[in-house]
Amino acid sequence: MAKDYKEVQMYNNEVTRAIQNMDAPVAAKDGALALLNNQLVNSNKLEDIANPNSDSINNPETLFDANLSDEANMLSFAEAQYVLLEAMHKVNED
């Protein structure tokens, strides 16, 4: 159990660092970090947090903002998801 927790935390830290170092708009990075946090909360092991097909990463309601139009919400989500998936890919390939 402790091993799983340590692996999940290490992966989370690496992906967070990769997001922060990306050349992307701040709003997209913030959204990516929110999606990653949602993924972290719903992960018990490395395979869970590293899964790019999880519901946590693919749910646009995670970043829903009532002050934005539906189109703006979808664009914001798509940008954040792209940043997160790029960061995860970078960490997974290293």
In this predicted model, what pLDDT tens digit does every residue of 38-82 receive, in sequence order? 999 999 999 999 999 999 999 999 999 999 999 999 999 999 999
The span from the CA of 39 to the CA of 34, in Å, is: 9
Q: What is the pLDDT of residue 3?
A: 72
Torsion of CA 18, 54, 41, 20, to 10 degrees: 10
pTM: 0.93
